[in-house]
Amino acid sequence: MKFIVLVGPPGAGKGTQAKLLEKSLGLPQVSTGDLFRYNLKNDTDLGKLARSYMDRGELVPDGVTVAMVKERLAQPDATNGAILDGFPRTQVQADALEQLLEEIGGRICAVPNIVVDFEELVQRLLKRAQIEGRTDDSEDTIRTRMRVYEEQTKPLLDYYEKRGLVVNVNGQQDIEAVQQDLRRVVEQAC
Ligand code: AMP
C-alpha cells in the first residue's frame, strides 16, 4: 500500500498534477480541498462547518479533516494506496496519518514538493479566481492561505525531509514537463 504525499503552496499545481498522476499510477487522487468542496456543494453538515474556514482561507480543524480522510481511504479504490493532495497540512494531521498508515499497513514512499516562487503563485491564484470563481481565491483570502501555508504546512517539509522522503520538483515549467519530473520521482521512490 503506497502513499504519495504531494506538497507545495497554494497555486503550485498540486491538483492538476495529482489528477494526471492518478491516471499513470492507477492510484486515486485524494484531495481534501475537493472533498470539502463536494460537501459544501451538497450542503452537508461537514460542508457547513468547513465553509467558514475555507472562505477565510483558514484550515478546517484537524479532527474533522482527519476523520474525513480516514473515511475516504477506507473506500475500495484506495486499497493499493493513494495520491494525497492537500493533506496533511499540519503536524497533527501528519501524526494522525502515520497512525492510520500503521493501522492499515501503508507507507509513504515519496513526498514530491512542487516549487513555485511567491510572485508567480499570487498571479496564478488571482487568475484562477477569475476563471473558476473560487470564493477562496480573493486577494485577502489568498494572503491568508499563503500565511497559513508558511506557518502550518511548510514546517512539514522538515519533518518529511528528515525521513529522506522529499524531492523538489520545479513547478515553473509547462504542465507536461512537471508531470514527467513527478513520474520520474515516483518511479524511483515507489
Ligand atoms: P485546497 O483546494 O487544497 O487549496 O483547499 C481549499 C481549502 O480547503 C483550504 O484553504 C482549507 O480551508 C481547506 N482544506 C483543504 N485541505 C485541508 C486540510 N488538510 N486541513 C485543513 N483544511 C483543509
Q: Contact, 20 vs 126, CB < 8 A?
A: no
pLDDT at res. 33: 97
Name the grid cell of 185. 520521482
CATH number where 54 lies: 3.40.50.300
Going from the Cα of 127 to the center of ligand 1, the distance in angstroms, rounded, reads 19
pLDDT in tens, 119-160: 899 889 888 888 877 777 778 888 899 999 999 999 999 999
Domain that holds residue 71: 2-189
Domain count along the chain = 1
Burial of 99 (0-12, 13-18, 19+ CB in 10 A): exposed
Pairwise CA distance, residues 24 & 48, whole Å: 35
Going from the Cα of 86 to the center of ligand 1, the distance in angstroms, rounded, reads 6
pLDDT in tens, 45-83: 999 999 999 999 999 999 999 999 999 999 999 999 999
Name the grid cell of 148. 497559513
Query: Average pLDDT of the chain?
Result: 95
Q: Contact, 73 vs 100, CB < 8 A?
A: yes
Mutate to test the pocket of ligand 1, among 136, 149, 154 (most ligand atoms within 8 A of CB): 136
**pLDDT over 80 (residue 12):** yes
Active site residue 134: yes
Burial of 2 (0-12, 13-18, 19+ CB in 10 A): middle
- The string of DSSP codes covering 22-74 is HHHH---EEEHHHHHHHHHHTT-HHHHHHHHHHHHTPPPPHHHHHHHHHHHHT
Q: pLDDT grade, residue 164 (50/70/90)?
A: very high
Active site residue 147: no
**pLDDT over 80 (residue 6):** yes
